[in-house]
Amino acid sequence: MKNEKAIVVFSGGQDSTTCLFWALKHFKEVETVTFQYGQRHSQEIEVAKSIAAELGVKHTVLDMSLLNQLAPNALTRDDIDIEQKEGELPTTFVDGRNLLFLSFAAVLAKNSDARHIVTGVCETDFSGYPDCRDVFVKSLNVTLNLSMDYEFVIHTPLMWIDKTETWALADELGALDYIREKTLTCYNGVIADGCGECPACRLRKRGLDQYLATKERG
Amino acid sequence: MKNEKAIVVFSGGQDSTTCLFWALKHFKEVETVTFQYGQRHSQEIEVAKSIAAELGVKHTVLDMSLLNQLAPNALTRDDIDIEQKEGELPTTFVDGRNLLFLSFAAVLAKNSDARHIVTGVCETDFSGYPDCRDVFVKSLNVTLNLSMDYEFVIHTPLMWIDKTETWALADELGALDYIREKTLTCYNGVIADGCGECPACRLRKRGLDQYLATKERG
C-alpha cells in the first residue's frame, strides 16, 4: 500500500495516534480527520491539531454538532435540557455515532482521492457499542463501496488487540514515548499520563504498566 | 405492519409525498424527517412542514449544512467559493448524500422507537447516483442493523416504478389530486404543476400526462 493514500479518523488520543503512526508506516500519503461535537473535551481538538501539525499531516476538523439534534432526550422531551458534566459522556449518547463518523470519513476520503480509511475501533476492549464490532465494520465497508461506486478499504489495526498490545504496537512503530507524552486520553483534559484518577487514565496506565513490565522481563 | 411505526424521508416533493401516503396506509404511526442544507430551495422546507401538518404527522427538520463542509471544491481549493445558482444543483454535489441521509434517518428512527424507514429512492429513473440503487439500500439495511443492534426495515415503494407508475400509485392511494396540488418539485420553486419549463417540471408533467391518458383510455 506504499503508493496509496489513507485518511485516519483521529482524535488525538492514544488509540488513534497509534493508528496514525501505523498509517504513516504503511501509506505514501496520510491525512487525518477529527469530528468536533459538543460531547468532546474541547482540548482534544487542540491536541489533535498540534499532533497532526508536528507529524506533518493534513488535518480536517468536521463540525458534527448536528449530532446534538439527534440526542434522544432533547428530541423526545422538549422540556429537558441536555445535561452534561465536564469530561463525562453525556446522558444523551447518540447511537450509530461510529457509523456516521466513518461515513463522513469516506465521503472526505473520496474527495481527497484516498481509498484507505484507518480507524482505531476495537472489539477487544468492548465498549458495548455495536458499531465498534468487526462485523459492522466489514458490512459498512461493502455499503460504502456501493454507496459511492468506489473501492474503499477500511483498516482497523487495533480491532483484536488490548491496551497492553496497543502500547506494544506503538513501541514497534517507534512511537511509544511520543504517544505517552503527547496524546490526550484523560477525561479531565490532562495530557500524557493524565490525572491518573479517571477511568480512561486507569485503563491507559494499566496497559502501559503491563507492557513496560513485559518489556523489562524481556 | 399495521401496528408498527415508520419514519418517512420527506422533502415535500411528489415522490416522497407519495411515500408518505403509502406509509400512512401501511403503518399505525408515521413520522417524517426533512434534511435541510444549503442546496435546497428554501421553500421546500416550508412545503414539507405544511404537508406534514395537514396530514397530522410529526415532522423533524435536521440541519445538514455540515454537508457543505464536504463539498470537494470548497475543501480542496481554498480559493474557490461554492457557486450556486438559485434552484440549481450546486457544482459541488456531495457523494454519498443518500448514505448520510438514510443513516441519520435510522438514528432518528431508533430514538423514536420506529424500525421502519421509508424512502422514495428509485432505480428506474436512474439518476446516476450509486446510492439510489437497490443493491446499496439492501447493503445499508444490513449495516444499519449491525451498527445499532436493531432490526430496521428500509422500504422503497418507488424503487422499480417510473414517474407514470408513481402517479398511478398516488391515485391508488387516493392522493393524486393532493399530490398534484400540494407538492413542490419545480426547480423554480413553483408549487403544484410548477413553472413547466425546468427539467423537474417536464419529467413530472410527462409522467402525469401519460398516466392520465392511460386512465382515460381505461
* DSSP symbols for B56-103: T-EEEEEE-GGGGGG-HHHHH-TT-PPP--TTS--TTPPTTHHHHHHH
Mean pLDDT of chain B: 88
Q: Do B74 and B47 contact (CB within 8 A), yes or no?
A: no
Confidence of residue B87 (pLDDT cuts 50, 70, 90): very low
Q: Which of A77-86, A122-131, B160-169, B188-197 has the lowest mean pLDDT?
A: A77-86
Q: Do B4 and B26 contact (CB within 8 A), yes or no?
A: no
Name the nearest CA neighbour of B98 among B63, B46, B133, B70.
Answer: B133
Cell 432526550 locates to A73
**A149/B130 CB distance under 8 A:** yes
Which pLDDT score, from 0 to 100, does residue B72 have? 59
**B95/A103 CB distance under 8 A:** no
Determine the Cα–Cα distance for residues A18 and A170; give it in Å rounded to an integer. 6
Top-confidence residue, B160 or A129: B160
Partners of B142 on chain A (C-beta within 8 Å) are 139, 143
**B38 Cα distance to chain centroid:** 16
Which pLDDT score, from 0 to 100, does residue B214 have? 94
Mark the ranges of chain A whose per-residue pLDDT is less than 50. 74-92
User: What residues of chain A have any CB closer than 8 angstroms to a CB in chain B?
Assistant: 60, 62-64, 66, 69-70, 72, 75-76, 94-96, 98-100, 103-104, 106-108, 110-112, 130-131, 133, 135-136, 139-140, 142-144, 146-150
User: Which letter does DSSP use for residue B94 in this model?
Assistant: P
Of A75, A103, A147, the CB nearest to B111: A75
Which pLDDT score, from 0 to 100, does residue B79 have? 43
pLDDT above 60 (res B91): no
* Mean pLDDT within B173-181: 98
- Nearest-Cα distance to chain B for A157, in Å, is 19
Q: Name the CATH code of domain B5-166 (choices 3.40.50.300, 3.40.50.150, 3.40.50.620, 1.20.1560.10).
A: 3.40.50.620
C-alpha cell at A164: 497492553
pLDDT above 50 (res B89): no
**pLDDT tens column, B39-84:** 556 788 999 999 999 999 999 999 888 887 776 554 444 444 444 4
Q: Which of A106-110, A214-218, B30-34, B143-147 has the lowest mean pLDDT?
A: A214-218
Question: Burial of A70 by CB count in 10 Å (0-12 exposed, 13-18 middle, 19+ buried)?
Answer: buried
**pLDDT tens column, B121-131:** 998 865 678 99
Number of residues in chain A = 218
Shortest CA distance from A102: residue in chain B: B100
Name the nearest CA neighbour of A48 among A32, A67, A65.
Answer: A32
Partners of B110 on chain A (C-beta within 8 Å) are 95-96
User: Domain limits of chain B?
Assistant: 5-166
Partners of A108 on chain B (C-beta within 8 Å) are 70, 75
Task: Please give the CATH architecture assigned to the domain spanning A5-176.
Answer: 3-Layer(aba) Sandwich (3.40)
% of chain B beyond a pLDDT of 70: 86
Which pLDDT score, from 0 to 100, does residue A66 have? 81
Which pLDDT score, from 0 to 100, does residue A89 have? 43
Determine the Cα–Cα distance for residues B145 and B204; give it in Å rounded to an integer. 35
- Nearest-Cα distance to chain B for A112, in Å, is 7
Shortest CA distance from B64: residue in chain A: A66
Determine the Cα–Cα distance for residues A95 and A74; give it in Å rounded to an integer. 14
> What are the phi and psi torsion angles at A59 (to 5°)?
-130, 125
**DSSP-derived 3-state class of residue A21:** helix
